[in-house]
Amino acid sequence: MATDLIRLTATEAVGLLKKGEVSPLELIDAAEKRIAAVEPAVNALPTLCLDRARDHAKRLMAGKGREAEGEAGWLAGLPVAIKDLADVAGVRTTYGSPIFKDHVPTKSHPLVERIERKGGVVIAKSNTPEFGAGGNTFNEVFGRTLNPWNTSLTCGGSTGGGAVALATGEAWLAQGSDHGGSLRGPATLCSVVGIRPSPGRVTRGTSNNLFSPMSVQGPMARNIPDLALFLDTMAGYCPLDPLTFDAPAVSFVDAVKAPQRKLRIGFTTNFGGALPVDRETREICAREVRRFEQAGCVVEEAFPELGPVDETFLALRSQVFLVDRELQLQTHRALLKPDIIWNTERALEQSPSVLAKADRERAALYRRFAAFFTRYDVLVTPGAATPAWDVTLRARDVIDGVKLTNYIAGSALTSAITLTTCPAVSVPCGFDGFGRPVGLQIVAPARQEALALHTAAVFERLSELSLLLPIDPRAGTVPPI
């Protein structure tokens, strides 16, 4: 029974919960058994809160806390995982940092409160790199999270624990966040799905960077209908976040179910050589994107000019780090990892003119994307520049023969899209010769999450790769570069 339950999609599980054919407690039990079975091999969910989850489940089963029943995104008691960057009241929340290794918040993050109000039951905290910084999920508190397709490889970051929990069937849905690709990268490397919503779609609540559009909160899942369901759970106005706005009149679930559109798709593997992308990744994505033609879509090689996105992103990202980490740099420097120190000190050294130029370049990039979307419905790129790499490496240092200069340079495919504020979905598209997942990134115009999800659903139905999940963790070796 437990094995059958963990193989349900989130949508199927919620359907059974609504009909009373399965209880939240049965799903918690199934998740607990699955976590016990696979967690030693992957280290995705280092902190469990199963007693708290059962208490919440019992309240729901007693008819309490169901005020949101009937609203879009109602989860009806479905167990979910929360990234260890978001506070959950009464549950150890470390942010992946030794500074907070014993931190137990008394109040939940506003997004967690929203998820619980919508009937989500928190069963665990998922692992993340320190303060979410980096494309490989490891920290000094809980260690490394391993890729279930090959446990010698990284799962990506920073929502790596959530991606692995989904791929292995430890959870049906996982909450995460995305700055330079933290929802999209792990989704690609673990063959699950994730969406970076437009800023304001989902509350960031307690962030000190409330007026920056760089970092957002969002969902991950095993398939696109489940991803749409969880985005419905999260979306909407929050008085604690000045960028938020009301949820759409048409739910994301309904948008995914809408009659299939004949889309005009612009596709690029590397923006005309502007970004380094692994050769086999380019070949797989270029082949698989043609699946859209089976659905009557037009696929053409076309893309907006990126301009100096590396410098622009790094300048703006560094400013975000300065807001978040300056005080900790002064008081706990010895407990911060080198990448965070470098990113924060870089902001202290850059001039106002550098920031001004970055904002001008970001505005120009947005205008070029807006013009592109007058000719094409969506832009499709690879979801990551390379498949998963050696988990013992802090970050990739070379991609397609290009030497990378810093720990985030390998995420330019996703960080470039961050600058545009456009929503982007990562969806699996295949595997390389070593069995490592490869994915596509589907980018839609600003605030058009429904279009991005609809497009991803079209591809997912054609590829059927979501049917492979969940998997048991697989041991392996690191492929040669």
Which pLDDT band, with edges at 50, 70 and 90, does 464 fall under? very high
Residues contacting 459, CB < 8 A, separation 6+: 291, 292, 427, 429, 440, 442
DSSP-derived secondary structure letter, 350: S
List Cα–Cα distances, 59 to 25, 31, 63, 113, 390, in angstroms: 11, 19, 7, 15, 44
- Cis peptide before 470, with omega less than 30 degrees from 0? yes
Rounded average pLDDT over 295-305: 98
- Return the beta strands (E) in 234-376 as ranges: 264-267, 298-301
Q: Does residue 2 surpass a pLDDT of 80?
A: no
Mean pLDDT of 261-265: 95
Span 230-250, mean pLDDT? 98
The string of pLDDT tens digits covering residues 16-55 is 999 999 999 999 999 999 999 999 999 999 999 999 999 9
Q: Give pLDDT, residue 3.
A: 81
pLDDT greater than 80 at residue 233? yes
Task: Give me the domains of the chain, ranges plus CATH numbers.
Answer: 2-468 (3.90.1300.10)
Tell me the two tokens of residue 88: 């959950």
Q: What pLDDT was estimated at residue 481?
A: 79
pLDDT band at 145; cut points 50, 70, 90: very high
Q: Coil, helix or strand for 422? A: coil
**CA–CA separation, 303 and 267 (whole Å):** 7
Mean pLDDT across the chain: 97
pTM of whole model > 0.95? yes
What is the pLDDT averaged over residues 111-136? 98
Query: Which residue has 């409330």 as its token pair?
Result: 210
**Would you give the end-to-end CA distance of the chain in angstroms?**
42
pLDDT at 115: 99
Write the pLDDT tens digit of every residue in 331-386.
999 999 999 999 999 999 999 999 999 999 999 999 999 999 999 999 999 999 99
